[in-house]
Structure 1
Amino acid sequence: MRLEGKTAIVTGAASGFGAGIARIFAREGAQVLVADLNLDAARDIADEIGGLTTQTDVSDGGSVAAMTKIALEAWGRIDILVNNAGTTHQKGPLEDVAEADFDRVFKVNAKSVYLTAREIVPQMKAAGSGAILNVASTAGISPRAHLNWYNASKGWMITATKAMAVELAPDGIRVNAICPVAGETPLLASFMGEDTPEIRAKFLATIPIGRFSQPEDMGEAAAFLCSDAASMITGVALEVDGGRCI
Protein backbone atom coordinates (compact mmCIF):
# COMPACT_ATOMS: atom_id res chain seq x y z
CA MET A 1 0.00 0.00 0.00
CA ARG A 2 2.74 2.43 -1.01
CA LEU A 3 0.21 5.01 -2.21
CA GLU A 4 -2.44 4.64 0.48
CA GLY A 5 -4.41 7.85 0.90
CA LYS A 6 -3.00 9.41 -2.29
CA THR A 7 -5.00 10.76 -5.22
CA ALA A 8 -3.68 10.39 -8.75
CA ILE A 9 -4.53 11.44 -12.30
CA VAL A 10 -3.17 9.14 -15.00
CA THR A 11 -3.56 10.34 -18.59
CA GLY A 12 -3.79 7.89 -21.46
CA ALA A 13 -4.84 5.32 -18.89
CA ALA A 14 -7.36 3.35 -20.95
CA SER A 15 -4.72 1.03 -22.44
CA GLY A 16 -1.03 0.17 -22.58
CA PHE A 17 1.37 1.61 -20.04
CA GLY A 18 -1.26 3.99 -18.66
CA ALA A 19 -3.62 1.14 -17.80
CA GLY A 20 -0.76 -0.72 -16.14
CA ILE A 21 0.11 2.34 -14.06
CA ALA A 22 -3.54 2.89 -13.08
CA ARG A 23 -3.91 -0.73 -11.99
CA ILE A 24 -0.75 -0.74 -9.88
CA PHE A 25 -1.60 2.63 -8.32
CA ALA A 26 -5.03 1.32 -7.30
CA ARG A 27 -3.47 -1.87 -5.92
CA GLU A 28 -1.12 0.31 -3.87
CA GLY A 29 -4.03 2.23 -2.32
CA ALA A 30 -4.37 5.33 -4.50
CA GLN A 31 -7.61 6.83 -5.74
CA VAL A 32 -7.18 7.09 -9.50
CA LEU A 33 -8.76 9.23 -12.20
CA VAL A 34 -8.50 7.39 -15.53
CA ALA A 35 -8.25 10.06 -18.23
CA ASP A 36 -8.27 9.13 -21.91
CA LEU A 37 -9.72 10.10 -25.29
CA ASN A 38 -11.34 6.65 -25.47
CA LEU A 39 -14.11 7.08 -22.90
CA ASP A 40 -15.52 3.55 -23.14
CA ALA A 41 -12.12 1.93 -22.58
CA ALA A 42 -11.38 4.40 -19.77
CA ARG A 43 -14.63 3.42 -18.07
CA ASP A 44 -13.67 -0.23 -18.27
CA ILE A 45 -10.38 0.41 -16.48
CA ALA A 46 -12.01 2.72 -13.95
CA ASP A 47 -14.70 0.13 -13.18
CA GLU A 48 -12.03 -2.54 -12.77
CA ILE A 49 -9.99 -0.53 -10.26
CA GLY A 50 -12.78 1.41 -8.58
CA GLY A 51 -11.61 4.74 -9.95
CA LEU A 52 -13.01 7.82 -11.63
CA THR A 53 -13.01 8.44 -15.36
CA THR A 54 -13.12 11.32 -17.80
CA GLN A 55 -12.71 11.81 -21.52
CA THR A 56 -9.69 14.04 -21.96
CA ASP A 57 -7.75 15.43 -24.91
CA VAL A 58 -4.41 16.26 -23.28
CA SER A 59 -3.47 18.56 -26.17
CA ASP A 60 -6.46 20.86 -25.49
CA GLY A 61 -6.35 23.36 -22.64
CA GLY A 62 -10.08 23.35 -22.00
CA SER A 63 -10.18 19.57 -21.81
CA VAL A 64 -7.26 19.47 -19.35
CA ALA A 65 -8.95 22.13 -17.21
CA ALA A 66 -12.15 20.05 -17.14
CA MET A 67 -10.18 16.96 -16.11
CA THR A 68 -8.56 18.89 -13.26
CA LYS A 69 -11.92 20.21 -12.10
CA ILE A 70 -13.35 16.69 -11.89
CA ALA A 71 -10.45 15.54 -9.72
CA LEU A 72 -10.61 18.54 -7.40
CA GLU A 73 -14.38 18.29 -7.00
CA ALA A 74 -14.08 14.59 -6.13
CA TRP A 75 -11.02 14.70 -3.89
CA GLY A 76 -10.24 18.30 -2.99
CA ARG A 77 -6.62 17.81 -3.95
CA ILE A 78 -4.32 16.13 -6.48
CA ASP A 79 -1.29 14.37 -4.99
CA ILE A 80 0.07 12.67 -8.12
CA LEU A 81 -0.02 13.50 -11.82
CA VAL A 82 1.17 10.98 -14.42
CA ASN A 83 1.63 12.43 -17.91
CA ASN A 84 1.41 9.15 -19.78
CA ALA A 85 -0.68 9.98 -22.85
CA GLY A 86 1.49 9.83 -25.94
CA THR A 87 1.55 9.19 -29.65
CA THR A 88 4.01 8.71 -32.49
CA HIS A 89 4.26 9.07 -36.24
CA GLN A 90 4.71 6.21 -38.66
CA LYS A 91 8.28 4.98 -38.95
CA GLY A 92 10.07 6.49 -41.95
CA PRO A 93 12.59 9.08 -43.15
CA LEU A 94 12.40 12.30 -41.15
CA GLU A 95 11.73 14.45 -44.21
CA ASP A 96 8.72 12.33 -45.18
CA VAL A 97 6.76 12.88 -41.96
CA ALA A 98 3.68 14.99 -42.68
CA GLU A 99 3.43 18.35 -40.97
CA ALA A 100 0.10 17.34 -39.44
CA ASP A 101 1.71 14.25 -37.90
CA PHE A 102 4.61 16.33 -36.54
CA ASP A 103 2.16 18.79 -34.96
CA ARG A 104 0.10 15.97 -33.43
CA VAL A 105 3.17 14.32 -31.88
CA PHE A 106 4.31 17.54 -30.21
CA LYS A 107 0.82 18.53 -29.07
CA VAL A 108 0.26 15.18 -27.35
CA ASN A 109 3.79 14.45 -26.13
CA ALA A 110 5.02 17.95 -25.25
CA LYS A 111 2.27 20.57 -25.08
CA SER A 112 0.27 18.28 -22.79
CA VAL A 113 2.98 18.52 -20.12
CA TYR A 114 2.67 22.31 -20.20
CA LEU A 115 -1.13 22.20 -20.07
CA THR A 116 -1.33 19.79 -17.13
CA ALA A 117 1.34 21.76 -15.26
CA ARG A 118 -0.56 24.99 -15.83
CA GLU A 119 -3.67 23.51 -14.23
CA ILE A 120 -2.27 21.22 -11.53
CA VAL A 121 1.00 22.75 -10.31
CA PRO A 122 -0.82 25.65 -8.57
CA GLN A 123 -2.87 23.11 -6.60
CA MET A 124 0.28 21.24 -5.58
CA LYS A 125 2.06 24.47 -4.63
CA ALA A 126 -0.84 25.41 -2.38
CA ALA A 127 -0.59 22.00 -0.69
CA GLY A 128 3.19 22.19 -0.40
CA SER A 129 3.63 18.73 -1.90
CA GLY A 130 3.07 16.64 -4.99
CA ALA A 131 4.62 14.17 -7.39
CA ILE A 132 4.61 14.50 -11.17
CA LEU A 133 5.74 11.64 -13.38
CA ASN A 134 6.32 12.05 -17.11
CA VAL A 135 6.36 8.93 -19.25
CA ALA A 136 9.20 9.59 -21.67
CA SER A 137 11.03 6.88 -23.63
CA THR A 138 14.39 5.30 -24.33
CA ALA A 139 13.93 7.10 -27.67
CA GLY A 140 14.74 10.34 -25.87
CA ILE A 141 18.07 8.93 -24.64
CA SER A 142 19.24 6.57 -27.37
CA PRO A 143 17.26 7.37 -30.54
CA ARG A 144 16.54 4.86 -33.29
CA ALA A 145 16.56 5.98 -36.91
CA HIS A 146 13.28 6.75 -38.69
CA LEU A 147 11.38 7.87 -35.59
CA ASN A 148 13.10 11.25 -35.55
CA TRP A 149 10.34 13.60 -34.41
CA TYR A 150 8.98 11.14 -31.86
CA ASN A 151 12.53 10.81 -30.47
CA ALA A 152 12.80 14.58 -30.27
CA SER A 153 9.49 14.92 -28.43
CA LYS A 154 10.62 12.44 -25.78
CA GLY A 155 13.98 14.18 -25.44
CA TRP A 156 12.00 17.38 -24.86
CA MET A 157 10.02 15.61 -22.14
CA ILE A 158 13.19 14.50 -20.35
CA THR A 159 14.59 18.05 -20.39
CA ALA A 160 11.23 19.43 -19.23
CA THR A 161 11.23 16.93 -16.36
CA LYS A 162 14.63 18.10 -15.14
CA ALA A 163 13.77 21.79 -15.52
CA MET A 164 10.48 21.31 -13.67
CA ALA A 165 12.23 19.38 -10.91
CA VAL A 166 14.71 22.22 -10.27
CA GLU A 167 12.04 24.90 -10.24
CA LEU A 168 9.42 23.05 -8.20
CA ALA A 169 11.62 21.41 -5.55
CA PRO A 170 11.36 24.42 -3.18
CA ASP A 171 7.58 24.03 -3.33
CA GLY A 172 7.76 20.40 -2.17
CA ILE A 173 6.92 19.02 -5.62
CA ARG A 174 9.01 16.22 -7.10
CA VAL A 175 9.15 15.66 -10.87
CA ASN A 176 10.56 12.49 -12.43
CA ALA A 177 10.32 10.55 -15.67
CA ILE A 178 10.41 6.92 -16.67
CA CYS A 179 11.88 5.86 -19.99
CA PRO A 180 10.28 2.62 -21.20
CA VAL A 181 11.63 0.50 -23.99
CA ALA A 182 8.99 -0.45 -26.55
CA GLY A 183 6.34 -2.69 -25.05
CA GLU A 184 3.19 -4.61 -25.77
CA THR A 185 1.04 -1.53 -26.34
CA PRO A 186 -1.05 -0.20 -29.25
CA LEU A 187 1.98 1.82 -30.46
CA LEU A 188 4.32 -1.16 -30.91
CA ALA A 189 3.59 -1.72 -34.60
CA SER A 190 4.23 1.97 -35.34
CA PHE A 191 7.61 1.82 -33.62
CA MET A 192 8.66 -1.26 -35.58
CA GLY A 193 7.23 -0.15 -38.92
CA GLU A 194 5.36 -3.43 -39.21
CA ASP A 195 4.79 -6.28 -36.81
CA THR A 196 6.32 -9.49 -38.11
CA PRO A 197 8.21 -12.30 -36.30
CA GLU A 198 11.42 -11.28 -38.08
CA ILE A 199 11.17 -7.61 -37.09
CA ARG A 200 10.24 -8.56 -33.53
CA ALA A 201 13.31 -10.77 -33.27
CA LYS A 202 15.55 -7.99 -34.59
CA PHE A 203 14.02 -5.50 -32.15
CA LEU A 204 14.32 -7.87 -29.18
CA ALA A 205 17.98 -8.46 -29.98
CA THR A 206 18.67 -4.89 -28.83
CA ILE A 207 17.16 -5.52 -25.36
CA PRO A 208 19.59 -7.49 -23.15
CA ILE A 209 16.86 -8.88 -20.91
CA GLY A 210 15.28 -10.29 -24.06
CA ARG A 211 11.64 -9.25 -23.82
CA PHE A 212 9.39 -6.30 -24.51
CA SER A 213 8.32 -4.23 -21.55
CA GLN A 214 4.89 -4.82 -20.03
CA PRO A 215 2.43 -2.29 -18.62
CA GLU A 216 3.00 -3.72 -15.15
CA ASP A 217 6.72 -2.96 -15.40
CA MET A 218 5.90 0.71 -15.84
CA GLY A 219 3.30 0.58 -13.07
CA GLU A 220 5.78 -0.75 -10.52
CA ALA A 221 8.45 1.85 -11.41
CA ALA A 222 5.87 4.64 -11.40
CA ALA A 223 4.45 3.59 -8.03
CA PHE A 224 7.90 3.74 -6.46
CA LEU A 225 8.81 7.14 -7.90
CA CYS A 226 5.46 8.63 -6.85
CA SER A 227 5.59 7.16 -3.35
CA ASP A 228 7.05 8.64 -0.18
CA ALA A 229 9.81 6.01 -0.41
CA ALA A 230 11.27 8.13 -3.25
CA SER A 231 11.10 11.41 -1.32
CA MET A 232 14.77 12.19 -2.08
CA ILE A 233 14.45 11.49 -5.81
CA THR A 234 13.63 14.26 -8.25
CA GLY A 235 14.74 15.13 -11.79
CA VAL A 236 15.47 11.50 -12.65
CA ALA A 237 14.78 9.91 -16.05
CA LEU A 238 14.67 6.26 -15.01
CA GLU A 239 15.39 3.75 -17.77
CA VAL A 240 12.88 0.89 -17.47
CA ASP A 241 14.25 -0.82 -20.53
CA GLY A 242 15.78 -4.22 -19.85
CA GLY A 243 19.23 -2.78 -20.53
CA ARG A 244 18.42 -1.28 -23.94
CA CYS A 245 20.28 1.99 -23.24
CA ILE A 246 23.49 0.42 -21.93
Structure 2
Amino acid sequence: MKQISSHHNDLIKHIVTLKEKSRARKKSGEFVVEGVRELQLALSCGYEVVHVLFYEDLFPFEHLKTIDVEDYKCIEVSKDVYTKIAYRTTTEGVLAVLKSQSHTLDQLQFKTKNPLVLVAEAPEKPGNIGALLRTADAANVDAVIIANPKTDLYNPNIVRSSVGCVFSNTIATGSTEDVISFLNTNNINIYSAILQESINYTHPDYKIASAIVVGTEATGLSQDWRDASKENISIPMQGKIDSMNVSVAAGILVFEAVRQRSL
Protein backbone atom coordinates (compact mmCIF):
# COMPACT_ATOMS: atom_id res chain seq x y z
CA MET A 1 0.00 0.00 0.00
CA LYS A 2 1.27 3.44 -0.90
CA GLN A 3 2.41 5.71 1.95
CA ILE A 4 2.95 9.46 1.99
CA SER A 5 4.92 11.32 4.65
CA SER A 6 5.81 14.59 2.88
CA HIS A 7 3.81 17.79 2.62
CA HIS A 8 5.47 18.36 -0.75
CA ASN A 9 3.88 15.35 -2.38
CA ASP A 10 1.89 16.41 -5.47
CA LEU A 11 -1.27 14.65 -4.31
CA ILE A 12 -1.14 16.36 -0.92
CA LYS A 13 -0.69 19.74 -2.61
CA HIS A 14 -3.65 18.93 -4.85
CA ILE A 15 -5.87 18.03 -1.87
CA VAL A 16 -4.99 21.25 -0.05
CA THR A 17 -5.90 23.21 -3.19
CA LEU A 18 -9.19 21.34 -3.53
CA LYS A 19 -10.09 22.26 0.05
CA GLU A 20 -9.29 25.92 -0.41
CA LYS A 21 -10.22 26.88 -3.97
CA SER A 22 -13.56 26.55 -5.74
CA ARG A 23 -11.81 27.08 -9.07
CA ALA A 24 -9.65 24.01 -8.48
CA ARG A 25 -12.69 21.90 -7.64
CA LYS A 26 -14.49 22.99 -10.79
CA LYS A 27 -11.45 22.56 -13.03
CA SER A 28 -10.52 19.10 -11.78
CA GLY A 29 -14.05 17.82 -11.19
CA GLU A 30 -12.90 16.58 -7.79
CA PHE A 31 -13.53 17.49 -4.17
CA VAL A 32 -12.63 16.35 -0.66
CA VAL A 33 -14.92 14.66 1.84
CA GLU A 34 -13.87 13.94 5.41
CA GLY A 35 -15.37 11.51 7.92
CA VAL A 36 -16.68 7.96 7.81
CA ARG A 37 -20.41 8.78 7.79
CA GLU A 38 -20.10 11.35 5.02
CA LEU A 39 -17.88 9.09 2.93
CA GLN A 40 -20.18 6.08 3.31
CA LEU A 41 -23.18 8.21 2.36
CA ALA A 42 -21.40 9.56 -0.72
CA LEU A 43 -20.51 6.04 -1.84
CA SER A 44 -24.06 4.79 -1.29
CA CYS A 45 -25.28 7.66 -3.49
CA GLY A 46 -23.04 6.68 -6.38
CA TYR A 47 -20.05 8.97 -5.99
CA GLU A 48 -16.78 7.71 -7.46
CA VAL A 49 -13.68 7.47 -5.25
CA VAL A 50 -10.34 8.69 -6.58
CA HIS A 51 -8.27 8.24 -3.38
CA VAL A 52 -8.86 7.42 0.27
CA LEU A 53 -6.25 8.72 2.70
CA PHE A 54 -6.06 7.61 6.31
CA TYR A 55 -3.90 8.12 9.38
CA GLU A 56 -3.37 4.73 11.02
CA ASP A 57 -3.39 5.93 14.65
CA LEU A 58 -6.85 7.46 14.28
CA PHE A 59 -8.28 5.17 11.62
CA PRO A 60 -6.64 1.72 11.66
CA PHE A 61 -6.21 -0.10 8.37
CA GLU A 62 -8.79 -2.77 9.23
CA HIS A 63 -11.46 -0.07 9.52
CA LEU A 64 -11.17 0.45 5.78
CA LYS A 65 -13.33 -2.65 5.49
CA THR A 66 -16.27 -0.47 6.58
CA ILE A 67 -15.75 1.56 3.42
CA ASP A 68 -16.47 -0.18 0.12
CA VAL A 69 -13.40 0.94 -1.81
CA GLU A 70 -10.63 -0.91 -3.63
CA ASP A 71 -7.35 -1.30 -1.72
CA TYR A 72 -5.28 0.26 -4.47
CA LYS A 73 -7.08 3.57 -3.93
CA CYS A 74 -6.14 3.68 -0.24
CA ILE A 75 -3.09 5.62 0.93
CA GLU A 76 -1.64 5.75 4.43
CA VAL A 77 -0.35 9.17 5.47
CA SER A 78 1.74 10.39 8.38
CA LYS A 79 0.38 12.46 11.24
CA ASP A 80 1.91 15.66 9.88
CA VAL A 81 0.46 15.08 6.44
CA TYR A 82 -2.97 14.25 7.78
CA THR A 83 -2.94 17.38 9.94
CA LYS A 84 -2.13 19.33 6.78
CA ILE A 85 -5.01 17.97 4.73
CA ALA A 86 -7.70 17.50 7.41
CA TYR A 87 -10.41 20.14 7.55
CA ARG A 88 -11.97 19.46 10.91
CA THR A 89 -10.35 20.27 14.22
CA THR A 90 -11.69 16.99 15.59
CA THR A 91 -11.30 14.34 12.96
CA GLU A 92 -11.77 10.63 12.41
CA GLY A 93 -8.54 10.02 10.56
CA VAL A 94 -9.94 9.38 7.09
CA LEU A 95 -10.77 11.51 4.09
CA ALA A 96 -11.22 10.94 0.40
CA VAL A 97 -10.98 12.63 -2.97
CA LEU A 98 -14.20 12.02 -4.92
CA LYS A 99 -15.40 12.82 -8.42
CA SER A 100 -18.01 15.59 -8.59
CA GLN A 101 -21.39 14.95 -10.15
CA SER A 102 -23.28 17.17 -12.58
CA HIS A 103 -26.23 19.19 -11.27
CA THR A 104 -27.78 20.76 -14.37
CA LEU A 105 -31.50 21.36 -14.63
CA ASP A 106 -31.82 19.30 -17.81
CA GLN A 107 -30.67 16.23 -15.88
CA LEU A 108 -33.16 16.67 -13.06
CA GLN A 109 -35.74 13.90 -12.80
CA PHE A 110 -38.47 13.56 -10.19
CA LYS A 111 -39.44 10.39 -8.37
CA THR A 112 -43.13 11.31 -8.17
CA LYS A 113 -45.81 12.82 -10.40
CA ASN A 114 -46.52 15.57 -7.86
CA PRO A 115 -43.05 16.62 -6.81
CA LEU A 116 -42.29 18.78 -3.80
CA VAL A 117 -39.31 20.98 -4.55
CA LEU A 118 -37.35 23.33 -2.32
CA VAL A 119 -35.78 26.27 -4.16
CA ALA A 120 -33.24 28.63 -2.60
CA GLU A 121 -32.22 31.77 -4.44
CA ALA A 122 -28.61 32.96 -4.13
CA PRO A 123 -27.73 31.46 -0.73
CA GLU A 124 -24.17 32.45 0.16
CA LYS A 125 -23.38 31.05 3.60
CA PRO A 126 -22.25 27.41 3.41
CA GLY A 127 -23.74 26.77 6.85
CA ASN A 128 -27.18 27.88 5.67
CA ILE A 129 -26.90 25.78 2.52
CA GLY A 130 -25.92 22.77 4.59
CA ALA A 131 -28.86 23.32 6.93
CA LEU A 132 -31.23 23.65 3.96
CA LEU A 133 -29.97 20.35 2.58
CA ARG A 134 -30.45 18.64 5.93
CA THR A 135 -34.00 19.97 6.09
CA ALA A 136 -34.69 18.77 2.54
CA ASP A 137 -33.33 15.33 3.36
CA ALA A 138 -35.43 15.11 6.53
CA ALA A 139 -38.57 16.06 4.59
CA ASN A 140 -37.64 13.75 1.70
CA VAL A 141 -38.38 16.42 -0.90
CA ASP A 142 -38.09 15.40 -4.52
CA ALA A 143 -35.37 17.92 -5.29
CA VAL A 144 -33.48 20.96 -4.10
CA ILE A 145 -32.78 23.64 -6.68
CA ILE A 146 -30.33 26.44 -6.03
CA ALA A 147 -30.97 29.47 -8.21
CA ASN A 148 -28.10 31.86 -8.90
CA PRO A 149 -25.68 29.87 -6.71
CA LYS A 150 -22.97 31.91 -5.00
CA THR A 151 -21.04 28.95 -3.57
CA ASP A 152 -20.17 25.66 -5.24
CA LEU A 153 -21.89 22.62 -3.78
CA TYR A 154 -18.63 20.87 -2.91
CA ASN A 155 -17.31 23.61 -0.67
CA PRO A 156 -15.93 21.75 2.39
CA ASN A 157 -18.16 23.80 4.69
CA ILE A 158 -21.26 22.68 2.80
CA VAL A 159 -20.20 19.04 2.87
CA ARG A 160 -19.53 19.32 6.61
CA SER A 161 -22.58 21.35 7.62
CA SER A 162 -24.92 19.21 5.52
CA VAL A 163 -23.56 16.08 7.27
CA GLY A 164 -23.43 14.46 3.85
CA CYS A 165 -26.94 15.51 2.77
CA VAL A 166 -25.31 17.20 -0.22
CA PHE A 167 -24.97 13.61 -1.46
CA SER A 168 -28.37 12.24 -0.46
CA ASN A 169 -30.48 15.01 -2.00
CA THR A 170 -31.33 15.36 -5.67
CA ILE A 171 -29.86 18.79 -6.42
CA ALA A 172 -29.83 21.05 -9.46
CA THR A 173 -28.54 24.56 -10.03
CA GLY A 174 -29.29 27.25 -12.58
CA SER A 175 -30.09 30.90 -13.08
CA THR A 176 -33.31 32.24 -11.61
CA GLU A 177 -34.70 32.67 -15.13
CA ASP A 178 -33.88 29.08 -16.08
CA VAL A 179 -35.24 27.65 -12.81
CA ILE A 180 -38.55 29.49 -13.22
CA SER A 181 -38.77 28.28 -16.81
CA PHE A 182 -38.06 24.71 -15.69
CA LEU A 183 -40.75 24.82 -13.01
CA ASN A 184 -43.31 26.27 -15.40
CA THR A 185 -42.48 23.72 -18.09
CA ASN A 186 -43.04 20.93 -15.58
CA ASN A 187 -46.30 22.45 -14.31
CA ILE A 188 -44.99 22.96 -10.79
CA ASN A 189 -46.76 25.68 -8.81
CA ILE A 190 -44.45 28.30 -7.35
CA TYR A 191 -44.97 29.51 -3.77
CA SER A 192 -42.56 32.30 -2.91
CA ALA A 193 -41.74 33.15 0.70
CA ILE A 194 -42.32 36.90 0.61
CA LEU A 195 -43.80 39.14 3.30
CA GLN A 196 -45.55 41.60 0.99
CA GLU A 197 -48.97 40.75 -0.48
CA SER A 198 -48.76 37.26 0.98
CA ILE A 199 -51.10 34.70 2.46
CA ASN A 200 -50.58 32.46 5.47
CA TYR A 201 -48.27 29.60 4.49
CA THR A 202 -50.83 27.01 5.62
CA HIS A 203 -53.45 28.09 3.07
CA PRO A 204 -52.12 26.77 -0.30
CA ASP A 205 -52.70 23.19 -1.42
CA TYR A 206 -49.24 21.64 -1.54
CA LYS A 207 -50.58 18.19 -2.46
CA ILE A 208 -50.20 19.12 -6.11
CA ALA A 209 -46.79 19.69 -7.70
CA SER A 210 -45.26 22.52 -5.66
CA ALA A 211 -42.04 24.49 -5.36
CA ILE A 212 -41.41 26.38 -2.12
CA VAL A 213 -38.98 29.21 -2.78
CA VAL A 214 -36.89 30.98 -0.15
CA GLY A 215 -34.42 33.82 -0.44
CA THR A 216 -31.62 35.24 1.65
CA GLU A 217 -32.29 36.85 5.00
CA ALA A 218 -30.61 40.06 3.83
CA THR A 219 -32.38 40.71 0.51
CA GLY A 220 -35.17 38.17 0.21
CA LEU A 221 -36.32 37.02 -3.22
CA SER A 222 -35.84 38.88 -6.47
CA GLN A 223 -38.73 40.44 -8.39
CA ASP A 224 -38.68 37.54 -10.85
CA TRP A 225 -39.98 35.21 -8.16
CA ARG A 226 -42.64 37.70 -7.13
CA ASP A 227 -43.86 37.83 -10.73
CA ALA A 228 -43.72 34.05 -11.24
CA SER A 229 -45.34 33.08 -7.94
CA LYS A 230 -48.78 31.45 -7.85
CA GLU A 231 -49.04 32.76 -4.29
CA ASN A 232 -46.70 34.63 -2.00
CA ILE A 233 -46.62 32.89 1.37
CA SER A 234 -45.45 34.05 4.78
CA ILE A 235 -45.05 32.75 8.31
CA PRO A 236 -46.91 34.88 10.88
CA MET A 237 -44.40 36.41 13.27
CA GLN A 238 -45.25 36.74 16.95
CA GLY A 239 -42.15 38.63 18.11
CA LYS A 240 -40.47 41.96 17.50
CA ILE A 241 -38.74 41.13 14.22
CA ASP A 242 -40.11 40.09 10.83
CA SER A 243 -37.51 37.59 9.66
CA MET A 244 -35.88 34.33 10.67
CA ASN A 245 -33.00 32.15 9.53
CA VAL A 246 -33.64 30.89 6.00
CA SER A 247 -33.16 27.23 6.91
CA VAL A 248 -35.61 27.54 9.81
CA ALA A 249 -38.18 29.22 7.57
CA ALA A 250 -37.67 26.58 4.88
CA GLY A 251 -38.21 23.84 7.45
CA ILE A 252 -41.51 25.29 8.60
CA LEU A 253 -42.77 25.73 5.04
CA VAL A 254 -41.61 22.37 3.70
CA PHE A 255 -42.97 20.39 6.62
CA GLU A 256 -46.36 22.04 6.22
CA ALA A 257 -46.38 20.62 2.70
CA VAL A 258 -45.30 17.24 4.06
CA ARG A 259 -48.10 17.38 6.67
CA GLN A 260 -50.71 18.09 4.01
CA ARG A 261 -49.44 15.28 1.82
CA SER A 262 -49.72 12.81 4.68
CA LEU A 263 -53.44 13.48 5.24
> Which structure has the highest helix share of the two?
1
Higher strand proportion (structure 1 or 2):
2
Q: Which has the higher contact order (CA 8 A, sep 6+)?
A: 1
Structure number with bigger Rg: 2
Range class of TM-score, shorter chain: 0.3 to 0.5
TM-score in terms of structure 1 length: 0.36
For normalisation by structure 2, the TM-score amounts to: 0.34
